[in-house]
């Protein structure tokens, strides 16, 4: 049956595009019987090409819009959690910015002393029975995260690998 992990917060790495990570979040909620969790999203900051011709106000408006979209997606994930019976106060949100998602996740694991993480192993359309990790981000995290952090790699709501 599911593993009880009430003592630790489980971090779930989620994409801004909710349908890509929804099955992984649902797997986490159903399989690990989560009491507390934190939704972790790495946002790649908007950096315009100098030749694009945007003025400062347009750049700021674009950055603000992207930040709002990131938070909107995190709130949608939080709603999924509450619909599955997790108390809203037990769902944390962590939005970090960086240019390399894998590196930022490993950095966050070290900063927050994360002991349990669930993340995607591949894009959902790539899932096949017996597959291994195909995501460069997931492979990087698998290789560089401290061994004290247990990681479940999920694709299309199916467990691919644990570490």
Domain annotation for the chain: domains and CATH numbers: 10-162 (3.40.50.620)
The tens-digit pLDDT sequence of the chain (163 residues) is 344 444 579 999 999 999 989 999 999 999 997 889 999 999 988 777 776 777 788 878 888 898 999 999 999 999 999 999 999 999 999 999 999 999 999 999 999 999 999 999 875 455 455 556 678 899 999 999 999 999 999 988 899 999 9
HSE, CB side, 13 Å, CA atoms: give it for residue 155: 18
111/78 Cα distance (integer angstroms): 23
**Cα distance between residue 2 and residue 4, in whole Å:** 6
* Residue range 53-99, pLDDT digits in tens: 777 888 788 888 989 999 999 999 999 999 999 999 999 999 999 99
Q: Residue 97 has what pLDDT?
A: 94
């Amino acid at each position: 049956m599911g593993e009880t992990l009430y003592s630790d917060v489980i971090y779930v790495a989620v994409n801004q595009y909710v349908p890509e990570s929804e099955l992984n979040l649902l797997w986490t909620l159903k399989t690990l019987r989560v009491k507390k969790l934190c939704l972790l999203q790495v946002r790649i900051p908007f950096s315009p090409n100098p030749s694009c011709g945007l003025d400062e106000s347009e750049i700021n408006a674009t950055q603000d819009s992207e930040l709002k979209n990131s938070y909107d997606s995190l709130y949608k994930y939080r709603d999924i959690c509450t619909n599955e019976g997790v108390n809203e106060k037990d769902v944390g949100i962590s939005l970090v910015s960086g240019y390399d998602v894998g590196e930022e996740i490993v950095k966050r694991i070290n900063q927050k002393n994360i002991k349990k993480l669930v993340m995607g192993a591949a894009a959902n359309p790539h899932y096949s029975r017996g597959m291994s990790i195909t995501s460069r981000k997931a492979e990087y995290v698998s290789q560089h995260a401290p061994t004290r952090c247990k990681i479940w790699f999920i694709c299309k709501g199916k467990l691919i690998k644990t570490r």
